Amino acid sequence: MSSNIEGIVEAIQENASIAFRKTATGKTRLCISRGEGEASSPIPQISTQVVDKYLFEAASVDATLFGAMEAMAAALNTLAHLRESLIELVSEGGQWFDSWAEYALEELEGVDQALASLYRVCTGKNHVPHRVR
């Protein structure tokens, strides 16, 4: 998501056209049109379903795992909020986008930290592979 935010900031500075479009399958894509063409990237839905499903089981198994999962659930809620705010702000003209972008990038650092912490608790490894994100 941070690359999408940075791309929008750059597109706003270039006066490029920015829009969100739904695909035939109902997925949301960010589309940025410049003179030379259009680029698009997915804006995936955020779900807490898997973390919520196992959160209380984790509490009975391991306090460290529960803490990491609880932090991840909060981070996913933050991510969902940022996604909705991103779509709303851009759709309404992006008047306050620069200020919001700074805030969002800071919040995304916390989301990344929560994911890294949960991954470390579950695997013992510090590096979260790209596919896991």
Q: Taking 60 as the threshold, does the pLDDT of residue 133 lie above it?
A: no
Report pLDDT for 131.
66
Tell me if residue 72 falls in helix, strand or coil: helix
Q: Which residue has the tokens 């499903």?
A: 53
* pLDDT one-digit tens code per residue, 51-67: 999 999 999 999 999 99
**Residue 94 in contact with residue 5, Cβ under 8 Å?**
no
**Which helix or strand (DSSP H or E) is residue 17 part of?**
strand 17-22
Residue 58 phi/psi, 5° resolution?
-60, -35
Q: How far apart (Å, rounded) are the C-alpha atoms in residues 39 and 17? A: 11
Q: What is the CA radius of gyration of the chain?
A: 17
Check the CA dihedral 86-90-92-93 and report its sign. Answer: positive
Report pLDDT for 127.
81
Sequence ranges of the domains in the chain: 2-132
* pLDDT one-digit tens code per residue, 63-112: 999 999 999 999 999 999 999 999 998 888 777 888 899 999 999 999 99
* pLDDT one-digit tens code per residue, 4-45: 888 888 888 888 888 899 999 999 999 999 888 898 999 989
